[in-house]
Amino acid sequence: MNLELRHLRVVTAIAETGSVTKAASMLGLAQPALTAQLQRIERALGGPLFERDRRGARPTALGELVLDRARVLLPAMKGLQDEAARLAGGDALSRYRLGGVNSPILGRLVHRLTADQPTAQISTHASWSVDELARMVLSGRLDYSLCGVCGDAVPSAELGLAWWVVAVDPVWLLLPEHHALAGRTEIDLADLSEERWVAAPGDGCFADCFAAACARSGFTPRKVYETDLKGSIDLVEAGEAIALCQATFRPVPGLITRPIKGAPLRWRLLLGWHAEAQAAGFADLMVKYAAGAYADILERNPDYTAWLRRHPGFGAQPNTEFEPAV
């Protein structure tokens, strides 16, 4: 294995937190995955980088050597990327190629980008696959990917993109306003055990997480349809299913959204880019646009905004960039 900058970030995160477990949480990874990654780095370098015991992780002599180099190389590379991007593209990109997976903020992000940079060329590409969009960013066909992942899941580390967590939202219910439970302020999954369901397609773990949430509530879903947004709305309007939707979704006339009691399902909205591409030099700008776009959709959704005030930890997520390790 060739040592790369992202491997140095892993070593630095472990040293800064003093714990593999805390570093995994900071990087948005499962602890076993980070442990396996550290072992591969240590094999590549020829020895252990940390002494690990119940008190935490402390750098070995080899670890201190690697950390000394990492603390020089990582800031230097970031500075190089930023300067190169500014020289190549001025203060902004001349074109922005955006990919989206059922993203609630894409429209508002494009609006903000257009208003701020009216001469920029902006294009969008839609896909239900997070991995497909990530590969398009990796190959240079897209500059940024706006996508969502279930719970604490992360996009494939093998794709090597940097990601910013824009927001963490609960999954809500979309149902007819005449439904027997429509008058409740929140609905327990157990009270919907006889219902049929519909959700958008995707390549993540959401179907498994939904099945697990139902199992914890004591039932197995009778039927789960998978279709696009229009098809989901049609099934709910016809009384054939209840839809699982993003909390930011604005229902059409005749339909309402309701939170699930206990918020058992979460959806993380991510913005991704290639850390070595020109677009990386303008990632901070895109993060600003994405955060502003998310704030815009909250303004038009007072019910969800009120829910967020009672549930800290959900909503916008500041300072949450991560780069999955392989």
pLDDT of 45-91, one tens digit each? 999 999 988 888 999 999 999 999 998 888 888 777 666 655 655 55
Q: Is residue 234 in a domain?
A: yes
Query: Residue 164 burial (CB < 10 Å; 0-12/13-18/19+)?
Result: buried
- Residues 62 and 147 both lie in one domain: no
Task: For 3-15, write each residue's pLDDT tens digit.
Answer: 888 899 899 989 9
User: Tokens representing 165?
Assistant: 């967590």
The pLDDT value given to residue 90: 55
The pLDDT value given to residue 81: 66
What value does the mean pLDDT take over residues 124-139? Answer: 88
Does the structure show a pLDDT above 70 at 311?
Answer: yes
- Residues 178 and 143 both lie in one domain: yes
Q: Is residue 326 in a domain?
A: no
Task: For 247-277, write each residue's pLDDT tens digit.
Answer: 999 878 999 999 999 999 999 999 999 988 8
The pLDDT value given to residue 84: 65
CATH of residue 23's domain is 1.10.10.10
Query: 175 near 240, Cβ under 8 Å?
Result: no
Q: Is residue 239 in a domain?
A: yes
The pLDDT value given to residue 309: 95
- Residues 181 and 276 both lie in one domain: yes
What value does the mean pLDDT take over residues 272-291? Answer: 91
- Residues 134 and 254 both lie in one domain: yes
Q: Is residue 90 in a domain?
A: no
The pLDDT value given to residue 205: 86
- Residues 46 and 105 both lie in one domain: no
Q: Is residue 91 in a domain?
A: no
What value does the mean pLDDT take over residues 24-49? Answer: 86
Task: For 150-198, write each residue's pLDDT tens digit.
Answer: 887 777 665 678 889 999 999 999 999 999 999 999 999 999 999 999 9
Distance CA 169, CA 27 (A): 19
- Residues 155 and 78 both lie in one domain: no
> What is the tally of structural domains in the chain?
2
Domain C-terminal end among 51, 83, 115? 83
- Residues 182 and 121 both lie in one domain: yes
Residue-number span of the structural domain to which 203 is assigned: 96-320
Domain C-terminal end among 25, 56, 83? 83
- Residues 75 and 206 both lie in one domain: no
- Residues 126 and 26 both lie in one domain: no
Of the candidate ranges 64-78, 204-218, 256-270, 293-307, the one whose mean pLDDT is the lowest: 64-78
- Residues 202 and 167 both lie in one domain: yes
The pLDDT value given to residue 325: 43
- Residues 208 and 72 both lie in one domain: no
Q: Is residue 325 in a domain?
A: no
Q: Is residue 89 in a domain?
A: no
User: Tokens representing 283?
Assistant: 């990632």
CATH of residue 255's domain is 3.40.190.290
The pLDDT value given to residue 307: 96
The pLDDT value given to residue 204: 79
**pLDDT class of 306 with cuts at 50, 70, 90:** very high
Domain C-terminal end among 55, 83, 111? 83
**pLDDT class of 317 with cuts at 50, 70, 90:** confident
- Residues 227 and 137 both lie in one domain: yes
